[in-house]
Chain A
Amino acid sequence: MAVRFTPWLIAIAALVLGILFPWLKTPLIIALSYGFAALGVSILIRAGQVSFGHAGFTCLAGYAAAAISRTWPATDALVLLLAGVLCGLVSGAVVGLFVARYRAIFFGMLNLALSMVLFAVLGKFYHITGGTDGLRLERPPLAGMALERAPFETALLAIVAVLVVVACWAIRRFYAAPMGQALIAIKTNEVRLEYLGLSARRVFWTGYVISATLCGFSGAMFALIQGLVTPEMGYWVRSGEFVFIAILGGAAHPVGAFIGALGFETLKLVASAVMTGIWQLVIGVVLLILIFVAPNGLSAILVRFERRTRTV
């Protein structure tokens, strides 16, 4: 089976499963929205950089959506999603100006530090952010219609499923474009990239902005399905989960992030039933195993498989 059909497969399977088993809708939407954030992280992994702070962008976008929805209660869900995307884009562009200078350790840790700052600020300023309890947002109208909970969730699932296909296609194009190729060159040899006349910092900044934008969408979608935003959305554990998904799925193809996210959500469901309280331990151990056994993730296996079948 060709890897280019897998985004379609994921989208259709998610829709069918969601409609057949309504209780699966929420976990599926959450899983796929994590997938968008992980896709953002995996763009940077292609450049050889790991960010331990991207949950900060999802958190910021979630709070932006919640704040808008609370100020103007009739704001449409689509507008809120768009606001989340814009929030990711703008904050990513600004933060990117600073962090795009750094690589490896400094890059990872600066992202972590910035997200910890956001986490602390959200917890501290109780009168604006609701402190650690977070902000609640009422179910907004969708495309002008006030929907009950079940149809609202179905509609969100449909939106996410369509966007999985769109995002996979768009990011695939980005990877194939000169800018996407230059991004990989940051991992292999940045100095040579500069000799070619490209600004490595600019290339990396572009990648960073795209990754933050994807996280922005993820955060707004998460806020809509949960109806609640808390500082936990930006805690380093969440960032670690995004990195885990990105590594599990692999950065070879954008669909990897979504495969990883579905795998992660399944693991989470199993873990919450069998092993409560040791969730981070489970992720940590699986991550260590992945680093040694399959550092390129599941999508690399798919892509390799496709190459093999094509040559035969």
Chain B
Amino acid sequence: MNSSLLLLGLLDGITQAAVLFLVALGMTLIFGVMRILNVAHGSFYAFGGYAAASASVYLASSGESLGAALMPLLAGAVVMGLLLGAIIEFGLVRRILNMDPAMQLLATFAVFMVLEDLQRLIWGVNPVSISAAVDLMGTVKVGAVNYNAYQLLLLPAVAVVIYFGLTLSLGRTKFGRQILAVTHNREVSMAMGINAKRVGLLTFCIGAILGTLGGALAAPTTSLVPGIGGDMMVLSFAVVAVAGLGQITGTAIAAILIGMAKAFAVYLFPEVEVLVPYLIMVLVLLWRPEGLFAVAQARRV
């Protein structure tokens, strides 16, 4: 393996990790507050991507500026995230909070099935792609490699900003501290006067927007086809499971680990590329069944 291939793998890994982190962060945030693993989270990613593509088509302005290419992505993601998040939280998630974990998993799985068909009904089965933003940002030269600036600069920048924005606002703002309190102990936080329902609704929407944003930002770099939702759901679960459910910094590290491993596998062992994330997950879970960064919890007898 020569040095330029190594560099290419490294750069691919960074861009993959950025998207993976956004989506997995939404999943882990929702789990932290609601104690529900949202199986439909992969569909949020797919819907975000398709919404961004539709928004790009409808909002296409005459000016070929970068802002005009990026704005629809953001708008599509936020609108779609709020819509899906609010409907699903209000219509379903808050009604299954006290159910058996298996039933909760089943309920979000049912939502996943519904969304998968809705996606096919709305956007069809033909691949959709929008690449205006990537074309407009041009390429940057890193060593001997030309890499497009959108993937190399914008995606990681968004991921980093969101990571620091989220960790800071969780620790420093009133609402962030309410989220942490509900995450820590729902009942006690409610006794302290926190409106856990409101916190749940807002967290679910934020989580959904993170998922749709991941999809929207990834949309210009890939083609959208049926099935990407399911693939992303399992992939982001792999990240979240490796990190330990509910761990934010852990999710960032796990996303980098899995993104890098996946990118290098493309160059080294292309046949097993799809298997790499799962192999990492299985190995980590064999070693630490709760994930790498999980905090020990007391058993309830």
* Interface residues of A, Cβ cutoff 8 Å to B: 45, 48-50, 52, 98, 101-106, 108-110, 112-114, 116-117, 120-121, 124-125, 189, 191-192, 236-237, 240, 243, 247, 277-281, 283-285, 287-288, 291-292, 295
Contacts and interface: CB of A to CB of B under 8 A. Distances in A.
A292 to B, nearest CB: 8
B100 A243 contact: no
A284 B112 CA distance: 8
Given A106-B241, A280-B116, A117 B275 contact: yes
B274 A291 contact: no
Secondary structure call for the B interface? helix
B141 interface: no
B6 interface: no
Given A98-B282, A110-B285, A287-B110, A278 B117 contact: yes
B218 interface: no
Given A113-B234, A278-B121, A243 B299 contact: no
Contacts of A291: 96, 99, 103, 106-107, 110
Contacts of B106: 50, 243, 247, 287, 291
B111 interface: yes
Contacts of A48: 100-102
A52 B102 contact: no
B21 interface: no
Contacts of B109: 52, 240, 243, 287
B114 A281 contact: yes
B301 A280 contact: no
Interface residues of B, number: 42
Contacts of A101: 289
A102 B289 contact: yes
Q: Which of B99, B106, B114, B271 has the most CB of A within 10 A?
A: B106
Nearest to A286: B110
Nearest to B101: A104
Given A191-B301, A277-B120, A105 B113 contact: no
Interface of B: 37, 39, 92, 95-96, 99-103, 105-107, 109-114, 116-118, 120-121, 230-231, 234, 237-238, 241, 245, 271, 274-275, 278, 281-282, 285-286, 289, 299, 301
A117 B274 contact: yes
Contact of B105 (A50, A280, A292): A50
A113 B237 contact: yes
Contacts of B271: 124-125
B297 to A, nearest CB: 13
A121 B234 CA distance: 15
Given A50-B105, A277-B120, A284-B112, A124 B274 contact: yes
14 contacts: A49-B102, A113-B234, A113-B278, A113-B281, A116-B234, A117-B278, A121-B275, A191-B301, A236-B230, A237-B113, A240-B113, A247-B106, A280-B114, A283-B113
A45 to B, nearest CB: 7
- Which 5 A/B pairs are nearest by Cβ-Cβ distance? A284-B113, A284-B114, A281-B117, A104-B101, A287-B110
Contact of B113 (A49, A110, A124, A287): A287
Contacts of B100: 48
Given A113-B238, A116-B278, A291-B110, 20 more contacts: A45-B102, A48-B100, A50-B106, A52-B105, A101-B289, A105-B105, A106-B241, A106-B285, A113-B237, A116-B231, A116-B234, A120-B275, A240-B113, A277-B117, A277-B120, A280-B116, A281-B117, A281-B121, A287-B113, A291-B99
